[in-house]
Amino acid sequence: MTFEDIINSIKAEFGAEIVVEANEKVMQPYLVVLPSALTKLFRFLKDNDLLFFDYLSCLTGVDNGPDKSLEVIYHLYSIPNNHSVVIRVFVDKLQPTIPSISDIYKSADWHEREAFDMFGILFENHPDLRRILMPSDWVGFPLRKDYQEQEEYHGIKVKY
């Protein structure tokens, strides 16, 4: 299945407005989709017999810089059909909330927790959204470009 076939399947199911951007002229072709469409889109990508994206290999957050959005990038792969797609979603930096897909892809559980911990992206309806790398009382989100490192943590100097 080609990248164009994947896009056409999505547009046939949901309409053209769900896809904000499509780019196949890069090493990993990607689609930018609306955050509000995530749950139904990922369920479709997994359950559709022709697409059958059964494996979420990676989910990561990205801070696109000051005064710009945060981004979540999903890498999906169909093991039996041997095709892949990258889905990108932009979220507002001031209210970075998108739906969790951990009920669709179990591997999203810890990936979403990491994106929450490092970037402050809130995944609605996640079963256990709490810090996974940083201590539970850590202040801020260390991979954001505007992150201000603490001088000390529980009496331990952390900034030199």
Q: Write out pLDDT tens, residues 28-50.
A: 999 999 999 999 999 999 999 99
Q: Which two tokens stand for residue 11?
A: 């547009």
The chain-wide mean pLDDT, for the chain, equals 95
Number of domains in the chain: 1
Q: Give 97's contacts (C-beta < 8 A, 6+ positions apart).
A: 91, 121, 122, 123, 124
Question: Measuring CA to CA, which residue among 51, 45, 56 is closest to residue 115?
Answer: 56
What is the distance between the alpha carbons of residues 117 and 40, in angstroms, rounded to a whole number? 25
* pLDDT exceeds 90 at position 111: yes
Q: Which two tokens stand for residue 129?
A: 């959204």
Task: Decide if 118 contacts 141 (C-beta within 8 A).
Answer: yes
* Residue 69 structural domain: 3-157
pLDDT given at position 83: 94
Task: Decide if 101 contacts 43 (C-beta within 8 A).
Answer: no
Instruction: Extract the runs of DSSP E, i.e. beta strands, from the chain.
Output: 19-23, 30-33, 55-63, 70-78, 83-91, 97-99, 122-124, 152-153, 156-157
* pLDDT exceeds 80 at position 159: no
- Residue 159: alpha-carbon gap to chain centroid: 30
Q: Write out pLDDT tens, residues 7-19.
A: 999 999 999 999 9
CATH code assigned at 86: 3.30.460.80
Q: Are strands 30-33 and 19-23 parallel, antiparallel or unpaired?
A: antiparallel
